[in-house]
Amino acid sequence: MEACLCSKPVLRVQSKQVFLPFAVAPSVSSCNRHIRSSRPPFPASKHRQVDQRRQAHTKRNVSSTASTISEADPLPTAMAVSRPLSCLRLSALIRSYLITSVSSIPFLLRPSLSVMTFLAHTKSPVFMPDRNPILHFLLKKTFYAQFCAGETPAEVRTTISDLKDTGYRGVILGHANEVVLTKEEAEGLDASTESLDQAALHADEIAIWRRNTVATVDLAQEGDFVALKFTGAGRQALQHLKATIACSPEFENAVHEICQRAQQKGVKLLFDAEQASLQQGIDNWTMYFAKIYNKERALVYGTYQAYARKTPQNLARHLETARKENFVLGIKLVRGAYLGSDPRELFWPTIEETHACYNGIAKAVLQRQYQGILQPVEGGSSDFPRVSLVLATHNAESVRLAVAIRDEQARNALPRIELAYGQLMGMADNVSCEVLQTARVRAESSDANVEIPRAYKYLVWGKMGECMKYLLRRAQENRDAVTRTVEARRALGSELGSRLAFWKS
């Protein structure tokens, strides 16, 4: 997300589980390409009858959930939407349930990852999706449609329109351009060797990245986000990031053009986190542009990966810099995405520690108060700067915790920071739809004492071949997707059961 918007990392790297990247619940957007209405499949009165028992159960359990995922005291019920997937059409619901069920079969997972790896890296025209029309057609109608926004601007606009018709506040749009270095490639980056031919190649790579990113900003609408990677600008950017030196004048000019275009359109920019060998350089560049463009509101957001041990201290340094220099710090909080390529000792030893770090940081930022795992830097002030937050997670408990905090702030008329929730397209629709349904119900009630959450979907667009690499990274970074798929399957099965109960009655 970019680093992954919302991955829940598996910290037991010896596990032999692998991820079937396309075998998760289809996104609401793909369903709404065929049906634009969000009306429930049967009358509202019947919805209420089926929902009452589950609603009561949900209310009893959300507050206890909040207490288990945070060091904070138990918080009141956040979201009590019992049937978030009711907006899915029946055919899509059945298909989603079948796919997620198949993805739980271990012996199908490894070959699926092998196929994705082959298609993403093949040099044979026979197996290149962009050159093989049959393969292109099959992928375009299935896996590509599940996870990607489109190959052309027209397709992307249609996808965005469908999502917003469904109820999403906006989208996080990125162009598919994946760079994941092996250890040897990272060590081989040498910024000291340069030639006229290489300089021309660097200029071309920056120009292509600038053009694709500007096109992405132009596709976005006011209130949307655009996700971008510094590494997409080519080898010179990789060299400079690895060496933690300033970006080249050509690259800086390209970023200024992107920032100014986004500012004019009312679009915000999420600079993704990447591999540890490049992250310090990415942080330096992100903060450089944030100081320039975040004077009044956050235009530039940095990404913070909660699975990294040093993230609380790193964020604290950035918060102190924002306080001293009086700018808004834009924060995109994710769990992490590079377990497969970074040294293991950089991460928390257990998934529980990662959860505690994520939720502890989220709570501190939402309340604008140093506490728990997020403490001020040594010698720094305890005053919290202005912040904006994108809570990027597939974890329903983290979302509920945040909504509960916001509800408490609303009830007590406390100031609230700018906040958006984000999940990847094609994944975690049970989480996304819960946010959507909560927002819809609360907007209709006009209750000023509750938060109306803003849900976003992260979309990637580009040619089929480019997006295959994106899908492969989804596979490699989400090796615990079997667990998440089981959760999605249960939610889908529960929705199927509710509809069957109606038909039998």
User: How do the domains of the chain map onto residue ranges?
Assistant: 152-188+198-267
Q: Which pTM was predicted?
A: 0.80
pLDDT on residue 60 = 38
The DSSP secondary-structure symbol of 374 reads B
Rama region for 485: left / alpha / beta (φ>0; ψ in -120 to 50; rest): alpha
Q: How far apart are the first and last CA of the chain?
A: 44
pLDDT on residue 212 = 93
The rounded distance, in Å, linking the Cα atoms of 454 and 82 is 19
Q: What's the burial of 496, exposed, middle or buried (CB within 10 Å: 0-12/13-18/19+)?
A: middle
Residue that the structure tokens 């990031």 belong to? 241
**Is 328 in contact with 388 (CB distance < 8 Å)?**
yes
The DSSP secondary-structure symbol of 305 reads E
The rounded distance, in Å, linking the Cα atoms of 159 and 425 is 10
**Is 469 in contact with 176 (CB distance < 8 Å)?**
yes
Distances (CA, A) of 287 to 97, 223, 303, 335, 400: 43, 22, 11, 20, 30
Q: Any residues with CB less than 8 A from the CB of 80 and at least 6 apart, and which?
A: 55, 58, 59, 62
Taking each continuous run of H as one helix and of E as one strand, the counts in the chain are 18, 9
Q: What's the burial of 502, exposed, middle or buried (CB within 10 Å: 0-12/13-18/19+)?
A: middle
Tell me the residue ranges of DSSP E strands in 257-411. Answer: 268-271, 300-305, 329-334, 387-392
Number of C-alpha atoms within 13 angstroms, CB side, residue 470?
29
pLDDT on residue 82 = 67
The DSSP secondary-structure symbol of 86 reads G
* 179-237 pLDDT per residue, tens: 655 556 555 665 455 566 788 888 999 999 999 999 999 999 999 999 999 998 999 99
Spans of the chain below 50 pLDDT:
1-77, 191
Enclosing H/E stretch for 418? strand 418-424
